Structure 1
Amino acid sequence: MAIIESVTLEVADPTAARRFYTAAFGLDSQIRLRASTAPTTGFRGFTLALTVSGPATVDGFLDAAVDAGGMLLKPSAKSLWGYGGVVQAPDGTIWKVATSAKKDTGPATREIDEIVLLMGVEDVKASKQFYVGRGLAVAKSFGGKYVEFVADESSPVKLALYKRRGLAKDVGVPADGAGSHRIVLGGTAGPFTDPDGFAWEATSLTSTSA
């Protein structure tokens, strides 16, 4: 079974970005950083989501992200599925922090239960078949709306596919965008570029992060 072994964000200033992600989310080895000035405008077609234990932890992460220089796109709020909010990092990456719990059962923590990469695609069914053909196994599938792939224990993130316009609406930004996605996935399935322009490369967890 093919898996994701790394997620690399391409940023203008890796040192500043590392400082932000450490202060905001406590992320270090989970996300790699690489210097890039590749042109990109508007919505980059993906979001990264942090799943946490409760509303207080959601608020704690969002507050820390704003204090570190992030921009709040959607204040935390209750919804049918739980509680969450959205923030944009200084490098432009959009992050959602959410929980399925609507009430706290304990104090806020800095623990992350799961990191999910949501890729916005034009045709969910076609992209699903593309990735299945490259060895990824489907964990959940809801027709042409959402697909989630099986994540190995060694994988830093779980991969999921969502309609591009639906994903943009969910995080509160216009769906229009062009240029580089500014993200590269590494794993046993690569190297290749998928139908929506997301790049994969052959890489290893043992290589050094920026």
Structure 2
Amino acid sequence: MTSSTSSTSLAPFTSLTLEVGDPASAQAFYEALGLGAYVDVRASDAPTTGFRGFALSLVASQPGDVDALVGAALDAGATTLDPAAKSFWGYGGAVRTPDGTVCKIASSSKKDSGPAARRVDRVALLLGVADVKASRRFYVERGLSVAKSFGGKYVEFDTPSSSVTLALYPRRALAKDTGVSQEGTGSHRIVLGGGAGPFTDPDGFVWESASV
């Protein structure tokens, strides 16, 4: 294990892999959404029901981009969980992908500043955890550095070796924010990779050893 977050073979977080029933179809979906560089997939038939405890957060520049991404997701087979709409923090909504992954698509802007584009500016993996502070300690002990922290409400790690930002969010709040029930059993159907692994965190998220 290492406390360094530089791009070395021991970088604490480097990748995420979704475990899906049909890898070819899942890969085609994420490519269509522009997420091929962010998400890996592999076959799994591990039992799972309800909320899997995580969400992919797709950050866009403006509302028009959010609508374009939501439209592309629905055209590729996703279903609506929370219709895109304005809120006090910006504009966004949530969908469930054909493989069951929850995606939150949002922008902090409430008005368009240019032509709409189907473009993702940033991708974050939000892990829904029972105790954000306890999970933060767990991950810091395994070499991850904190970039942002808002007490027990949100923690974001510094992950320069990955195209995906890793963050912790209360499980109940994450479910509510994406329009699903927090209830769920079985496999999370996601595996994280990096020099910090292998291990399983307090909420059952599995890590494997991986290098860049």
TM-score strictly above 0.5: yes
Alignment match, 2:98: 90
Letter of the 2:29 counterpart: F
1:28: Cα distance to partner? 1.4
Write the distance in 1 (CA, Å) between the matches of 2:197 and 2:163: 16
1:113: Cα distance to partner? 1.3
User: CA-atom RMSD, angstroms?
Assistant: 1.0
3-state DSSP of counterpart to 1:57: helix
Letter of the 2:169 counterpart: Y
3-state DSSP of counterpart to 1:108: coil
Alignment match, 1:133: 141
Q: Please give the per-residue CA displacement for 1:158-207, whole angstroms capped at 9, x wherever unaligned.
A: 011011011000001110001000000001111110000001111134xx
Letter of the 1:192 counterpart: F
Mapping 1:30-69, distance limit 5 Å: 30-69=38-77
Letter of the 1:196 counterpart: D
Write the distance in 2 (CA, Å) between the matches of 1:29 and 1:161: 22
Native 8 Å contact 2:69 2:119 kept in 1: no
Letter of the 1:22 counterpart: E
Native 8 Å contact 1:4 1:157 kept in 2: no
Write the distance in 2 (CA, Å) between the matches of 1:90 and 1:160: 24
Alignment match, 1:99: 107
Residue 158 of structure 1, aligned match among 162, 165, 178? 165
Task: Note if 1:14 corresponds to 2:23.
Answer: yes
Write the distance in 2 (CA, Å) between the matches of 1:171 and 1:54: 19
Alignment match, 2:7: none
1:74: Cα distance to partner? 0.7
Q: Please give the per-residue CA displacement for 1:132-161, whole angstroms capped at 9, x wherever unaligned.
A: 000101111111111111120x31210110
Native 8 Å contact 2:91 2:106 kept in 1: yes
3-state DSSP of counterpart to 1:147: strand
Letter of the 1:92 counterpart: G
Residue 110 of structure 1, aligned match among 99, 118, 128? 118
Stretches (4+) displaced over 3 A = none
Write the distance in 2 (CA, Å) between the matches of 1:103 and 1:156: 27
Alignment match, 2:183: 176
Write the distance in 1 (CA, Å) between the matches of 2:31 and 2:157: 27
Unaligned segments of structure 1, at least 5 residues: 206-210
Native 8 Å contact 1:187 1:202 kept in 2: yes
Identity of aligned residues (%): 63
Alignment match, 2:203: 196
User: Which deviates further from its counterpart, 193-202 or 102-111?
Assistant: 102-111
Unaligned segments of structure 2, at least 5 residues: 5-10
3-state DSSP of counterpart to 1:197: coil
Write the distance in 1 (CA, Å) between the matches of 2:198 and 2:178: 29
Alignment match, 2:8: none
3-state DSSP of counterpart to 2:119: coil
Distance 1:108 1:3, change over 3 A: farther
